[in-house]
Amino acid sequence: VLSLALSSWPRPLLAASLASGCVVLASLPELEEVARLRPHGPLHGICFSPEGGLLAGGCGTEDTFGIVTRRSLGQRFKAVQCWRLPCEQGGPCEELAALPFQGTVHATAFSPSGRLLAAGSEDRTARTFLVDGNFEQVSCLSCPAG
């Protein structure tokens, strides 16, 4: 398990991002699978929007050879992905956005109002996106120290 997130509204859900690359949504407390997402890669830092209708997470991987990690040059998809969750159990999840980054995305968070989505990446940036504006980038903070 790479990342977990909980949502209590409109129904209690657990999202679990697995190293195999899928995200399982399960009802609580039964832990019955509600949906399974197939992101572009294993997701890190998954989060639910405050109203519980959206799920976001960051992806991106590096190639590992023994104890040496080599950064891939464009070979791995590095992005924030966001889905609209089904209103009914068993309904389809709709991918709303795949926002590309230059580095693996490790952190995502929605603002308390749910209007903004923030993401932090190994490309040394923290960016915010307007959820209702087709995920238009609002700001980008460069972090020179990483």
pLDDT higher than 90, residue 84: yes
Q: What is the mean pLDDT of the segment spanning 2-13?
A: 90
pLDDT of residue 66: 47
Question: Distance (Å, rounded) from C-alpha 111 to C-alpha 24?
Answer: 23
Which CATH number is correct for 3-142, 3.40.30.10, 2.130.10.10, 1.20.1250.20, 2.30.110.20?
2.130.10.10
Span 3-14, average pLDDT? 90
Helices first, then strands: H and E counts in the chain: 0, 14
Q: What percent of the chain has pLDDT over 90?
A: 68
- The distance of Cα 104 from the centroid of its chain, to the nearest Å, equals 11
Q: How confident is the model at residue 83 (pLDDT cuts 50, 70, 90)?
A: very high
What per-residue confidence (pLDDT) applies to 6?
A: 96
Of 88, 95, 7, 82, the C-alpha closest to 43 is: 82
What pLDDT is stored for residue 145 in this prediction? 74
54 φ/ψ angles, rounded to the nearest 5 degrees: -125, 150
